[in-house]
Amino acid sequence: MLNLPIYLDYSATTPVDPRVAAKMIPYLTEHFGNPASRSHPFGWAAEKAVEDAREQVAKLVNADAKDIIWTSGATESNNLAIKGAAHFYAATKGKHIITVSTEHKAVLDTVKELERQGFEATYLDPQPNGLITVEQFKAALRKDTVVASVMAVNNEIGVIQPIAELGEICRANGTIFHVDAAQATGKMPIDLSKLKVDLMSFSAHKTYGPKGVGALYVRRKPRIRLEAQMHGGGHERGMRSGTLAPHQIVGMGEAFRIAREEMATENERIRMLRDRLMKGLLDIEETYVNGDLEQRVPHNLNISFNYVEGESLLMAIKDIAVSSGSACTSASLEPSYVLRAIGRSDELAHSSIRFTLGRFTTEEEVDFAIKLLHDKLGKLRELSPLWEMFKDGIDLNTVQWAAH
Amino acid sequence: MFAPAYLDHNATTPVAPAVLASMLPYFSVQHGNASSRHEFGRAARRAVDEARQRVAHAVGAHPTEVIFTSGGSEANNLFIKGAALRLKPGVIAVSAIEHPCVRNPARTLSRQGWRVREIAVDAECRLASADFSAALADKPALVSVMMANNETGALQDIALLAAEAATAGACFHTDAVQALGKIPLDFRSLNSAGVSALTLSSHKLAGPKGAGALVVDKRVDLAPLIDGGGHERGLRSGTENVPAIVGFGVACEQAVLHLAEAACHLQMLRARLEGGLSVLGATIFAQAAERLPNTVYFSLPGIDGETLVGKLDRAGYAVASGAACSAANPEPSHVLLAMGVAPAMARGAVRVSLGATNTEAEIVGFLLALSAIHTQLKSMTAMVD
């Protein structure tokens, strides 16, 4: 028996894994100490838990625990990384920033704020497959490029950007390279001992950890300096003040430990489910997959359904919880800026659905989603005059619409 | 297992059972992102909205005046830097006893051309009224004075100070992190007196760590510190920490409900504790000031605070030698120095901060342990001398 609605929106947020929740709860009750308390065991126990978790986060990405700074989430990490590095190095390196037009709002809005403060930004438009090319990036790079920020995995279409190559180019140019890896952890291997990445943002709640906690990797060799964005008691090597929340941090540590140990097998299972979903949906006429299928994490499927109206489609498939864009921008009715940036028309962008599968997704749920989409699309298209015209062989692009 | 008695509630508090119970569903079945439009998301949004109402109700504010943050430090940073960013550089006046998460953001403003004016306190940790007037004569654009001090527990007459500051044309903020849940708080009346914003934190009143709020008059023009997605009316982006926010709401509601009864219990315990301390010849800081009912900050002459705290820990009593945030810092407390306490005496400072779950038996036990340690340390000092 299926529980409705079925959750297929794992890129918006994930449930906390029960093993993670079990580890967290003692840090809300008996081990509730403030890790900054140095005078009693309540504080020591909390501090030890925080440091153990730091090891677990570092291990997932093959970094040193000392390189990991706790934050309240990936949005804060992105703000700290980009503003912190831009401000620290502007005087010596310059005030030019490179990013990609399909980045998360946490990066785009941060770069826009820096533009207001006098920085200059280049927004690279990806190719139709969602990826930027090394040549494109090289062409935008300047002597005064102080920071480049490129996400590892896109939150809407799941494509994986060529981080390793971009890192080499940045290092050679003396540009600080930041990578938003919020959507990448547990979905693809990340090895910071090999990647020339200076700053990397992480989120717990996209990887079966709790909301309210994230981390920023800050490379120490060569040493990257940041201007702190939050000042106070000097926690986290002075880069981020504020009482640490051990229950959340412990949760992130455990979530990342599980990701490290289980991602290989888990991702194969999820890939099979995703491929099953894709095959089932592409059986429907006039459907298009958005984003490259090779350079892509296994849990993401983003499909445009032609000749249906996006809002009606979302209303019709309420039994599955999916999104038409990223959660952070879903309050607006604007079509996805990511899909627009890769060249989809407004109509196709409007009738796109992001399906993101995860640890608790079952084959039965996938089959239910396939059947639901077949049924509802059939009904919606029966009512659509555009679909009728398309079926009659009329090329809609040549139709002269009467003004009214 | 041997569990020490926890007497450090101004550092942080255990989460109350009712608070924990309210949070748990939001880790599992109700795990949605509050910005998602499907049922999971809408349920999370409702939970955040309800929590906002609870927090607002607890402090007499309108829900739309509550901006959730990751904690008190962030809320203080948001007000000080966020308000300053929208103003022409001028003077910011902060009291000499503020928490580092007010003092340090204020200091960073000097890089943008601001001048920081520190306001002195008297020997009882109360704002020195002459110096406050003098500071206002400098025409500060921003003034921040904490409602209750985290070390001494001393309370300031915020309504009075804010009224004066407002007359002088300043935008007034108060860090109410230690006051929330311990004394009544009413933003509406404070706001009419001239308070533009106040900072709250969840983990000081039996809520979880990881949530706090800035309660702010909507006429104050603030710039966000964290961009990206436009959450919290554009003032604080980032996926809402739903379980912590829910827990914060319930913690506020519970604290206000039990405030009078808890204050009565705490005052009784405090009187007992201070009676015992005076027998040992302790100096109790800010004793003549209006104080939080739960805080006792004292020094035993000739006894080092760190040593005392360590010995008390081994005897089973968790107390602090100062604020947790600067516990790694061997310098004597800036609060005590501002009060004119001699550095040697300040190095002896020990803070006991009580919670509603503490018992009279724990206080009696604490005093017995302290007395024994005191005798031992005195005889050791005598031998060295």
B142 CB-near residues (< 8 Å, 6+ apart): B80, B83, B84, B87, B90, B91, B92, B93, B170, B171, B173
Which residue in the set A34, A79, A232 is minimally distant from B227, CB to CB?
A: A79
Average pLDDT, chain B: 95
Asked whether A288 and A348 are in contact (CB, 8 A), the reply is yes
Q: At what angle do helices B360-384 and B305-314 cross, to 10 degrees?
A: 130
**pLDDT beyond 60 at B323:** no
- Span A367-388, mean pLDDT? 94
pLDDT of A12: 96
List strands edge to edge, sheet with B295-299: B283-284, B295-299, B349-353
Question: What are B254-267's pLDDT values in tens digits?
Answer: 999 999 999 999 99
**pLDDT beyond 50 at A135:** yes
Question: What are A305-362's pLDDT values in tens digits?
Answer: 999 988 889 999 999 999 986 554 555 567 899 999 999 988 899 899 999 999 999 9
B53 CB-near residues (< 8 Å, 6+ apart): B63, B249
Which among B206, B213, B199, B207 has a CA at the least distance from the CA of B243?
B207
**pLDDT beyond 50 at B309:** yes
**pLDDT beyond 70 at A225:** yes
Look up the pTM and report it.
Answer: 0.95
Cα separation, A142 vs A273, in Å, equals: 43
CB contact under 8 A, B226 and A75: yes
CA distance A372 to chain B (A): 16
**A13, closest residue in chain B (CA to CA):** B33
CB contact under 8 A, B14 and A232: no
Asked whether B266 and B295 are in contact (CB, 8 A), the reply is no
**pLDDT beyond 90 at A207:** yes
pLDDT of A327: 52
Cα separation, B52 vs B68, in Å, equals: 8
Confidence of residue A398 (pLDDT cuts 50, 70, 90): confident
Q: How far lies A340's CA from each of A129, A140, A335, in Å? A: 12, 21, 7
> In this structure, what token pair is assigned to residue A319?
């039994």
B266 CB-near residues (< 8 Å, 6+ apart): B182, B293, B294, B354, B356
> In this structure, what token pair is assigned to residue B297?
């900050």
CB contact under 8 A, B242 and A211: yes
Q: What is the dihedral of CA B20, B26, B30, B33, to 10 degrees?
A: 160
CB contact under 8 A, B40 and A327: no
Q: Is B325 a catalytic residue?
A: yes
Considering chain A, what percentage of its residues have pLDDT values greater than 70? 97
pLDDT of B75: 98
Asked whether A324 and A352 are in contact (CB, 8 A), the reply is yes
- Compute the half-sphere exposure of residue B366: CA atoms within 13 Å on the CB side of its CA: 30
Question: What are A13-50's pLDDT values in tens digits?
Answer: 999 999 999 999 999 999 999 999 988 999 999 999 99
Question: What are B343-368's pLDDT values in tens digits?
Answer: 999 999 999 999 999 999 999 999 99
- Supply φ then ψ for residue A134, to 5 degrees: -60, -40
What are the chain B neighbours of A25 within 8 Å (beta carbons)? 20, 24
Query: How far from the centroid of its chain's Cα atoms is residue B91's Cα?
Result: 24
Question: What are B100-148's pLDDT values in tens digits?
Answer: 999 999 999 999 999 999 999 999 999 999 999 999 999 999 999 999 9
Q: How far lies A55's CA from each of A26, A61, A209, A225, B225, in Å? A: 19, 10, 16, 21, 29
pLDDT of A397: 75
- A104 secondary structure, DSSP code: -
* Contact with chain B for residue A322, Cβ under 8 A: yes
What are the chain A neighbours of B36 within 8 Å (beta carbons)? 9, 12-13, 321, 323, 327, 330
CB contact under 8 A, B238 and A76: yes
Query: Among the ranges A227-241, A374-388, B204-218, which has the highest mean pLDDT value?
Result: B204-218
Better-scored residue on pLDDT, A206 or A39: A206
Least confident of A199-208, B189-198, B272-281, B298-307: B298-307
Least confident of A333-342, B3-12, B35-44: A333-342
Cα separation, B351 vs A303, in Å, equals: 60
Cα separation, B125 vs B145, in Å, equals: 12
Angle (CA) A66 A72 A74, round 5°: 80
- Span B3-8, mean pLDDT? 92
Largest distance between two CA atoms of chain B: 74
| Mutation target vs B (from A104, A243, A356; most B CBs, 10 A cutoff) | A243
Average pLDDT, chain A: 94
**pLDDT beyond 60 at A152:** yes
Least confident of A16-30, A65-79, A157-171, A301-315: A301-315
**pLDDT beyond 50 at B1:** no
